[in-house]
Amino acid sequence: QVQLVESGGGLVQAGGSLRLSCAASGRTFSKYNMDWFRQAPGKEREIVAAISWSGDSTYYAESVKGRFTISRDNAKNTVYLQMDSLKPEDTAVYLCNGGSVNDGSTWSPGDYWGQGTQVTVSS
């Protein structure tokens, strides 16, 4: 069982930066692929970025490529999402997900979800 707690959200102006953190409990964190999803009002939940259990493989949605960076520190049981050059369309609740599966072309979410952290980008 893995419990996930996100932090780092907030209000920022367009062009600014935020760093989200997702702290995981449980000894098996280092064995899990980890993702960040986001959900904006009236929109479906979408994957933003993903990282393999070893950190060797990453994935980014086209909309955030070159602006967001996912990383992890297995010693601290934490995954991060550095968000730069933020845009108003990045406004959403950002959720950490654990246990995702990568079949080589698609990342499917795992069973573990955090409660989410709100990111609001003003124009």
Distance CA 36, CA 98 (A): 9
Compute the residue count for the chain.
123
Q: Which of 6, 19, 5 is nearest to 86 (CA)?
A: 19
Q: What is the per-residue pLDDT across 43-68, written as a single tens digit (0 to 9) for each?
A: 999 999 999 999 999 999 999 999 99
Share of the chain above pLDDT 70, in %: 100
Sign for the CA dihedral angle at 5, 6, 8, 9 comes to: negative
CA distance 52 to 102: 8
- Give CA–CA dist 29/1, Å, rounded: 9
